[in-house]
Amino acid sequence: MTPRTDFPNGARFAFSILDDTDDSTRENVAPVYDTLRECGFRTTKTAWPLDSPEGSRLFFAADTLQNTSYLEFVHELVDDGFELAFHGATMESSPRERTIRGLEFLHREFGQYPRLFCNHGFNRENLYWGRRRILLHLFPRLTSRFIARGRYHYLGDVEGSAYFWGDLCKEHIQYVRNFTFSRLNMLTVNPEMPYRLPETRYVNYWFSTADAPDVHSFNQLLTPERIDRLEQEGGVCILSTHLGKGFATRSGLHPATAQILRYISNKRGWFVPVSEILDHLLQHDHLRRGLSFCGRLRLLLSFLRDRAHRIAMARPSTKQRLPVPASSSHDAVP
């Protein structure tokens, strides 16, 4: 049976968006946030505090908070009740010193450290990422062998590495995104979230999200039938997306997206930032702690089945096959 929870003010379900900043500029996301405001949503946005002077082949189109106009825009969002989250110091791999500078920049500008972090792409400072993320749920002892043999790409949690910042994550950040799914209600696949893993000592709590990387997948996933089911189940939908990927048109927000957001807003939902939803789940279940082996296995198998299905559905015919951009998903596993 689908787990249920009680939400404030008699709300029947919870819904929020976790916007990764990968292709984001003020121009291409402002129309989205204008509609979110109008509909009464308060969501979560990641941002890169620092520029990447070495350049970026995949993510060069995004603004960072070193852009004055973009910084002003993000300040306006935070002042209006939106949440600012961490996506790393910048768009490419950051050694510890740059990660510290990024966190301190956010603290100075916004008066506090971010409470939520999302690993980004193939950045080497990612925490417990790549193949080891999979192994941690079944064979946690094997993960040390990857590190000992020098075969591990992601080093944010590896003490002594130039990319280590796990101690700062543990101190400042409450929640870190882990698996993503092509369904809305996260309580059907991860009823324990936010959850701990004893082997990931630098992460306080993990959580799962739905995944819709761009405007087309967003509009396809959020059908009226699925939204109605989310409400009937009393579920929790945290939806990871990139609001800079095609949501804004010359005339404003994509009309199908605008229709979806207004449809959701007319329901009796709780529309608050991601950390507030996770705080609520945590406070109303004091028994939330490490997953059992069965819980780990269930979550991992659900993720792998979901990922295999998405890959199969996205694969074009041999004659029409095109390369898939590396930044098209929140779950790249090299």
pLDDT tens readout for residues 222-232: 999 999 999 99
Report the range out of 2-16, 137-151, 250-264, 312-326 with the highest average pLDDT.
Answer: 250-264
- The three-class DSSP label of residue 131 is helix
8 A C-beta contact, residue 333 and residue 135? no
Total domains in the chain come to: 1
Q: Average pLDDT for residues 98-108, to the nearest whole number?
A: 98
Q: How high is the pLDDT of residue 326?
A: 45
- Asked if residue 334 belongs to a domain, the reply is no
Question: Is 136 among the domain residues?
Answer: yes
Whether 278 maps to a domain, the answer reads: yes
Q: What is the pLDDT of residue 148?
A: 52
In this structure, is residue 264 part of a structural domain? yes
| Domain housing 280 | 11-320
Q: How far apart, in whole angstroms, are the C-alpha atoms of residue 59 and residue 61? A: 5
* Residue 21 within a domain: yes
Among the residue ranges 186-195, 209-218, 288-297, the one predicted with the least confidence is 288-297
pLDDT for the residue 311: 82
CATH value at residue 230: 3.20.20.370
Would you place residue 289 in the very low, low, confident or very high pLDDT band (cuts 50, 70, 90)? low
pLDDT at residue 317 tops 60: no
33-68 tens-digit pLDDT: 999 999 999 999 999 999 999 999 999 999 999 999
Per-position b or e across 273-297, b if 16+ CB within 10 A of its CB? bbbbbbbbbbeeeeebeebeeeebe
What global pTM score does this model have? Answer: 0.92
**Regarding predicted confidence, which is higher, 314 or 312?**
312
Residue 208 inside a domain? The answer is: yes
